A and B are shown apart, each in its own frame.
Chain A
């Protein structure tokens, strides 16, 4: 069953994020995709929205489709104007990609091409509107399209430091949904009880909620996130668990798998983020019972 059909049927969806290479060596991406084929519903391919120049998400999405793995690709506003965005969206449809996530993009100065010029012709809500208009058969200038694309479109909610930030972010998310987003990817869950307190607010958005499960690859990463992002809610208990483990890598995998398993009864899906450790996805899925 496709990602779209599972969402519509309120079936739990399992997504995994995989990055395209910085270069043209796709062997690792291909191997990682083959490892999880048939075990997840779709692979999410980010573009350069995190500020790192890499192979574009369209190519990554097409490679997934060629492997028989459904793809969801990121699209974002920092680097392309409305013409380039629309052109790429039409191309994505023709190349078999049926799902898009309109993503936030890292500020140019924070990326690896900090000297580049920011485009930012549209914002995320404007891009969602453009996708909706393309699906209605017209481009942003009002001209009719010869052949109309269709997509399942999602949006993201940024990590929030506190309740006030979350409220503001939810207001933006509501506008994104009004503009056409059909599901929402929420920030990483490290504390299930805290997430349970936020979940009713996410559910009020009225679209499937897909939280991120982030693989803590090391104690240092857990501590870094705990210190730099208080809104992430990495508890002392969690860092202690990793520190005391005789196999910290395995402990991170265990935590991710347990989180996925717990979310199965709470949300409409999960998106597993492993940031370069995609080869660990099968182990996470094993623990999660998927």
Chain B
């Protein structure tokens, strides 16, 4: 999923200070799962904003709505009847959702309430960790299902650096060395020969090397 964290309240208040009425829009997808921008968080932030502004001697009306999926134009359309009289929109989706709302409603300022962080997985209750950087040419089949691009701080492609100690990255003991994990996993699978294969310089064109990417499925595209 795409993970996110809410921006500090002070930053959000600066965004909305000029306005009298805003629409706060959540998303029922990834940001709900990582407890950053779902229905519950929309309610909490709406109260928080109103209370903070009241305390500062100002006031604001916050309309609340949570879309099924904010990165999908079909669902964003739902917002049309809610925008009447609204000065600005604050989105609690990831950056994709924010941009979709901004693209659809060109005459309304749209502000992000979240900082979009990474594509990750849930490690345990309340903890999410980065797993994928969307390089566009997945090599997990060669690395025992552990990604050295997303999980090695130096994005090394041919084994660990000298900073790997007892399975930890030199960044800190709370960070696993991706290559130590890869080695252990390959051993378990009996695929140690993969470890000694030298990976050539990575072709980054499938990633951001060639600018913003787009997928076109001819069989589905209208």
Contact = CB atoms under 8 A, between A and B. Distances in A.
Contacts, number: 27
B201 A115 contact: yes
A114 B208 CA distance: 11
Nearest to A114: B205
B188 interface: no
A204 interface: no
Interface string B162-197: 000000000000000000000000000000000000
A189 B205 CA distance: 35
Interface residues of A, number: 8
B211 A115 contact: no
A226 B203 CA distance: 35
B210 interface: yes
Interface size class of B (residues with CB under 8 A): 10 to 19
B10 to A, nearest CB: 24
B204 interface: yes
A116 B201 CA distance: 9
A106 interface: no
Question: Main secondary structure on chain A at its contact with chain B?
Answer: loop
A108 B211 CA distance: 9
Nearest to B135: A117
Contact of A118 (B201, B202, B203, B208): B208
A109 B208 contact: no
Contacts of B211: 107, 109
A114 B204 CA distance: 8
A107 B205 CA distance: 12
Interface in A93-119: 107-109, 114-118
Contacts of B209: 108-109, 114-118
Interface string B23-54: 00000000000000000000000000000000
A107 B207 CA distance: 14
Contacts of A117: 202, 204, 207, 209
Contacts of B208: 118
A108 B206 CA distance: 12
A109 B203 CA distance: 11
Interface in A66-120: 107-109, 114-118
Contacts of A109: 205, 209-211
Contacts of A115: 201-205, 209
A74 B207 CA distance: 28
Nearest to A117: B204
B156 to A, nearest CB: 13
Nearest to B205: A115
A231 to B, nearest CB: 22
Interface string A276-289: 00000000000000
A51 to B, nearest CB: 12
A138 to B, nearest CB: 27
6 contacts: A109-B209, A115-B201, A115-B205, A116-B204, A116-B209, A117-B204
Given A107-B211, A118-B209, 17 more contacts: A108-B204, A108-B210, A109-B205, A109-B211, A114-B205, A114-B209, A114-B210, A115-B202, A115-B203, A115-B204, A115-B205, A115-B209, A116-B204, A117-B202, A117-B204, A117-B209, A118-B208
